[in-house]
């Protein structure tokens, strides 16, 4: 495996460990990214609050201005059984209890967008002027994304 990865620990309270998050700067499609996460004992990140969303986006932020959608970050939301169902599901099986779509998303452009990325970097110099910044976009699962974030539910 070529590329870099980082491990950090984060908590939701001073006494309870939520688990480690790993983030990879490694070009990968959705399924390969999920398999790498599984190989490290986790799944692509599920997100359940604005706080967690901002945390995941901050982890994956490269500091570069993006030029296209592939410069962003995979998260673990997917239409697992498309076309049978258009329901969005987290790869870790947790409930879909929070969504943070970019304006006009999801749009299933071309009928092939069944996986989700987070806009972890912004377009232009001012993130406040980018309405997509830290929001989600559906995109084809075969797209090679610059970054992905893995999440474990507990320390092992």
Q: Is the pLDDT of residue 42 over 80?
A: yes
Rounded mean pLDDT, 11-24:
47
Listing DSSP states for the chain in one string gives --SEEEEEEEEEETTEEEEEEEEEEEEE-HHHHHHHHHHTT-EEPP--SHHHHHHHHHHH--SSPPSSGGGSEEEEEE-TTTTT----EETT--------BPTT----GGG---EEEE--S-SSS-GGG-TTTT-EEEE-TTS-EEEEEEE-SS--
pLDDT at 71: 74
pLDDT digits (tens, 9 = 90+) for 112-152: 999 999 988 766 666 666 778 889 999 999 999 888 888 88
Q: Domains (ranges, CATH) in the chain? A: 4-63+71-151 (3.10.100.10)
Would you place residue 72 in the very low, low, confident or very high pLDDT band (cuts 50, 70, 90)?
confident
Predicted TM-score of the model (pTM): 0.82
Would you place residue 3 in the very low, low, confident or very high pLDDT band (cuts 50, 70, 90)?
very low
């Amino acid at each position: 495996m070529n590329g870099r990865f980082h491990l950090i620990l984060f908590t939701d309270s001073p006494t309870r460990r939520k688990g480690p998050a790993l983030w990879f700067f490694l070009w990968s499609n959705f399924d390969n990214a999920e398999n790498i996460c599984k190989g490290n004992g986790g799944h692509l990140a599920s997100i359940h609050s604005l706080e967690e969303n901002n945390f995941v986006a901050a982890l994956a932020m490269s500091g570069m201005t993006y030029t296209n959608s592939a410069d962003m970050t995979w998260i673990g939301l997917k239409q697992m059984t498309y076309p049978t169902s258009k329901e969005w599901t987290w790869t870790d099986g947790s409930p879909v209890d929070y969504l943070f779509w970019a304006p006009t998303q999801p749009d299933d452009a071309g009928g092939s967008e069944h996986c989700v990325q987070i806009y972890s970097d912004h377009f232009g110099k001012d993130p406040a002027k980018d309405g997509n910044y830290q929001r989600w976009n559906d995109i084809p699962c075969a797209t090679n994304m610059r970054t992905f974030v893995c999440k474990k539910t507990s320390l092992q």
